[in-house]
Chains A and B, each alone.
Chain A
Amino acid sequence: MESSLAGLAHGFQVALDWHNLIWCFVGVFVGNMVGVLPGMGVLSTISILLPLTFSMQPVAALLMLSGIYYGAQYGGAICSILLNLPCHPPHAVTCLDGYPMTKSGRGGVALGITMLAAVIGAAFGIMQMMVLAPYIASIAFKFGPPEICALMLLGLLAGSTLAKGSPIKGVSMTLLGILLSLVGTDINTGNERFTFGILEMSDGLELVAVSLGLFGIAEFLKSMNGLVPNARTDMQLGFRDLRPSRRDLRQGIPPILRGTVVGSLCSLIPGTGPTIASFIAYALEKKISRHPERFGHGAIEGVASPEASTHSAVQGDFIPTMSLGIPGDAVMALLLGALMIHGIQPGPRLIVEQPDIFWGLIASFWIGNIILVVLNVPMIGIWVKLLQVPYRFLYPTALFFVCIGVYATRNEMFDVGAVLLFGGFGYLLLKLGFEPAPILLGFVLGPRLEENFRRSLLLSRGSLETFIDRPIAAVFVGISVLLVAAQIVAALRRSRAPIRIPEEAFD
């Protein structure tokens, strides 16, 4: 602890050096912008800016590139909440309750609680990196293939009721999502599955295309066809409406704390990044809520928890990367690549051998997050005003950005076609009363479930007992069984004593 404080003090000296401070600011500012714009991704932005860093000091380069990554998370929720456009995968799940909040005129409150979640989540993530990493890592290291597999199963089961309405429809949508995630090349044998010989599908479907299609475009089509009268233009918002009330805070803070813990744990389990963390946090929050029926209709917990989880997972993502030198994902590999270009060898000794880099980075996280809050809080009012732009201008513009954004993820025209196709499909689902959210859940968690299920069985020589022999996995499996049982009991009870649930107006 003392050495951490000494390290942090040293880090602040490094990070407050005006040169580093400016680059940190540039990073978070560009990142924030990337997050807000539907058309830009974090990975492509960092790739584009990477060459710029070759002539910079390594510390400044790392501070700037990391700033883009966590800065983007601050803007990422804005499109999800205000326009139902999940441009950034970790914030896709925020659509589910963020957008209904906007529709009932509480978009500003949703953005406000997002800021609070960001600050708490990020602060915990950074603390974790400073002092808690060794303890949490020892828990995360107990997560072998059976544990990850069981956790994914639990997430899928808990989350298949993500949608409002019929659980059967929810489960079938989850399964559809898992099926969609199978598209592409099997990572063990190299056989292509459901690709129909189309080259662009051999690497699987693009998450951004699926989510933007199912949410953004489907929503657009739904409104276009006049199913919903556009209630937004007459909204009048004062500054007071943008601030979460005391009641909002009371409802929002416990989910923020739970989300933060989920995020930090997920960030340390190999291969489980911010996107999975946010979905699991949402599913958990809905499951433990005393009023799960409020979810999907603008429950503030449904925004607070996944957002906190994303921010703490994003900060936590740096822990394995910095402490082991093993990048968790492509963004982290780019950051390490930036160091390697400067001849710095990433690895477990980085913290000792390059204290400037490690502690400078941590100090810059504190500074960067403060800058982001200062940048973003005053902007909330302006973002919400965006909604007063007449619908006929706003949505075509957003649609344009959607197409550019999807194209930019991997420079494939194919994905633009895919997003439109998924948009049409999503519209059909909405009309038939299926909620698209569980599809996304299945799509995100499915590959991790499959990979770890197969790996577990390889290790146990095909014995399924491995899932109940190991305590952590057994607990997850047990909770999963209870969940299913509870659902069946509830269904039986309902059929015995039919209570007419008032039909909800289609919103």
Chain B
Amino acid sequence: MLISRRMALTGMAAMAGLAGAHPARAGAYPDRPVKIVTGFAPGGPADVMARILAGHLGERLGGTFIVENHPGAGGNIGCNFVARAAPDGTTLLVHTSALVINPSLYKKPPYDVVADFTPLVELATSPNIFFTNPATGLRSIADLVARAKQGSEQISFASAGIGTPPHLSGELLKLRAGIQMTHVPYPGGGPCVQAVLQNTTTIGSNALPPTLPLIASGQLVPLAVTWPTRWHTLPNVPTMLELGYDGFVNDTFQAFMAPAHLPAEIQDLLVRETLATLAEPAVRAQLEGEGYQVLAGGPQAMAARIAREVPMWRDLIDRSGIEHV
């Protein structure tokens, strides 16, 4: 026991010492570990963004920033968790466009996007991409539509969850092309990519970042991007606009949020350091290489985007007749 206790103490002391490698200023935020919550499984665009951000904020503010995945229900689980957390700056949220879509998509709105949150920064955005497994033999959206219309096999699409923009992109494709596809929701962009790699679903609809490396390696075949222009690292992949789908532009943004009533000084500090992180050329280059377009807008820009996009998605859901869940 003596030995084990001594070892235990040594171990704890060592850990405390290591954890204290960045001395926190006494009493100042962040005096406790900060959780950055994401509503999706590891590997998706919000998760990747949260991890990059956590690393840089930890270094800049001299505290511990931990990423926590609370996947499920199209991101609502994590989102709700933060909406109900104490507004002391120790629980933050990096979320995708699901933030502004889910209030209109669910029969019972999971949260109030304006009243429950303090906006911090609009971080970045990225197009959605349709892709497939090489084994399907599909090489374009036209191939897909032709096969679906032929009706000999069931067509399905994987997404990162109900209410994510890639889910709605898929629903939109069904409506616009007049085809049937079964939606198979996964708890995040990572598992969605894996499902298509396994050839479980016919195609995948996903944000660009988790998909890009596997397209580059040839393990996934890109079909089209939902961006106004061709994406700079995928010059051979057509946009939906080029394919004749008017107005088929769709993106997944990443928002940095905190619970409502966050003290203004903590908000200012987080906004300043986040914007400074995004302004670093190395960070910007890294994010762009991974398939993001950096937005770096402050709280006003974030609030304006929320005000703009909530009705936009609500209209889209109503007009397209996507079923409420």
Contact = CB atoms under 8 A, between A and B. Distances in A.
B22 A51 contact: yes
Contact of B42 (A188, A327, A455): A327
A348 B156 contact: no
B47 A347 contact: no
A190 interface: yes
Interface string B279-296: 000100010011000000
A327 B69 CA distance: 12
Nearest to B161: A187
Contacts of A340: 48, 51-52, 55, 286
B184 interface: yes
Nearest to A38: B8
Contacts of A30: 11, 14-15
Nearest to B90: A411
A336 B67 CA distance: 12
A137 to B, nearest CB: 10
A148 B131 CA distance: 24
Interface in B8-33: 8, 11, 14-15, 18-19, 21-22, 33
Contacts of B183: 458
Contact of B282 (A45, A143, A329, A343): A343
Contact of B193 (A36, A37, A326): A326
Given A326-B210, A458-B182, A203 B81 contact: yes
Contacts, number: 182
Contacts of A49: 15, 18-19
A44 B18 CA distance: 13
B45 interface: no
A459 interface: yes
Contacts of A202: 77, 80-81
A52 B73 contact: no
B197 A141 contact: yes
A461 B214 contact: no
Contacts of B8: 37
A349 B213 contact: yes
A505 interface: no
B76 interface: yes
A48 B73 CA distance: 29
Given A382-B3, A459-B156, A459-B201, A345 B289 contact: yes
Interface residues of A, number: 64
Interface string B45-60: 0011001101110110
Interface in B83-130: 84, 102, 106, 110
A347 B18 contact: no
Contacts of B22: 51
B69 A47 contact: no
A332 interface: yes
A130 B3 CA distance: 38
Contacts of B198: 141, 143-144, 270
Given A188-B185, A333-B43, A337-B67, A324 B77 contact: no
A23 B51 CA distance: 22
Nearest to B65: A51
A47 B58 CA distance: 11
B59 A347 contact: no
A199 interface: yes
Interface stretch (A90-98, A298-306, A386-394): A386-394
Contacts of B264: none
Nearest to B192: A326
A31 to B, nearest CB: 11
B156 A341 contact: no
A455 B210 CA distance: 22
21 contacts: A30-B11, A37-B8, A47-B64, A48-B15, A48-B64, A48-B66, A50-B66, A189-B162, A325-B214, A326-B194, A328-B42, A330-B68, A333-B51, A341-B51, A341-B52, A341-B55, A349-B213, A382-B3, A455-B184, A459-B154, A459-B201
